[in-house]
Every structure is written in structure tokens, then in C-alpha cells.
């Protein structure tokens, strides 16, 4: 019985670690997502942005990276932008009221 418990614990541990990424993999995803976020925000909000070094990778749940930042010279115009790290397409943008005041194009998928 003890061997079965050990086997089950090891099996569950291996399955849960399977979704983990190395630091270099996370940095590669971040480095590929930043220019996509920059271009998206330039197109839809006509502004340069500052992206923080803090980010979240939601894997394997939904394969997205969430970047955080603000409009250049307007730190109160904060946002988060979710990008699929499988397709590198913008999934969602959320932000402060100050951000939405700068929106150029209507975006059906935005979240406020």
C-alpha cells in the first residue's frame, strides 16, 4: 500500500511539473510578446508605451502572457494586455479610464 501511495504522489508531481517552463522559455515568450503589445497599443491608442518587467504566464490553463504597462508620459493610463503565446495574437486589453480616453479604433473585445 505504501508503494502505491509513493507511486501516486510521484505521478501527480510529474504531471503538475509538466506545465512548468524554464526562466529562459518565459523570457523568450516575453521578448516576443513585447513588440506585439507595443504595435497593438500604437495602432489602437496612438501612443508609445512603457511595459514593466513584471508579467504573468498563464500556462497550461489558457496559454497567455499578460504584460503590464502604461502610456508613455502618462503613468495613470495603466493597462494589462493578454497575448496568446501559441499564436501571438492579442486576446484582451484591460485598463484605466485614462487609457480608454486615448482609444483610436473601436475594439469589440476590450474589457474595462
Give the mean model confidence (pLDDT) for residues 20-47.
Answer: 92
pLDDT digits (tens, 9 = 90+) for 87-106: 999 999 999 999 999 898 65
Q: Is 35 exposed, middle or buried (0-12, 13-18, 19+ CB in 10 A)?
A: exposed
Mean pLDDT is lowest, of 12-16, 37-41, 44-48, 51-55, for 12-16
Q: pLDDT exceeding 70 applies to what percent of the chain?
A: 77
Confidence (pTM): 0.75
Task: Indicate the domain borders of the chain.
Answer: 21-100
- Going across the sheet that includes 49-58, the strands are 49-58, 64-71, 74-84, 90-95
pLDDT score at 23: 87
Return the residue matching grid coordinates 516576443: 32
pLDDT digits (tens, 9 = 90+) for 48-61: 999 999 999 987 66
Second CATH level (architecture) for the domain 21-100:
Roll (3.10)
Amino acid at each position: 500500500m505504501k508503494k502505491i501511495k509513493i507511486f501516486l504522489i510521484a505521478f501527480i508531481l510529474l504531471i503538475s511539473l509538466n506545465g512548468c517552463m524554464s526562466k529562459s522559455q518565459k523570457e523568450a515568450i516575453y521578448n516576443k510578446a513585447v513588440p506585439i503589445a507595443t504595435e497593438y497599443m500604437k495602432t489602437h491608442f496612438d501612443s508609445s508605451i512603457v511595459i514593466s518587467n513584471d508579467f504573468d504566464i498563464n500556462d497550461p490553463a489558457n496559454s497567455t502572457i499578460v504584460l503590464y504597462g502604461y502610456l508613455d508620459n502618462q503613468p495613470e493610463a495603466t493597462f494589462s494586455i493578454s497575448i496568446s503565446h501559441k499564436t501571438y495574437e492579442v486576446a484582451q486589453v484591460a485598463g484605466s479610464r485614462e487609457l480608454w480616453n486615448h482609444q483610436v479604433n473601436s475594439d469589440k473585445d476590450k474589457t474595462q
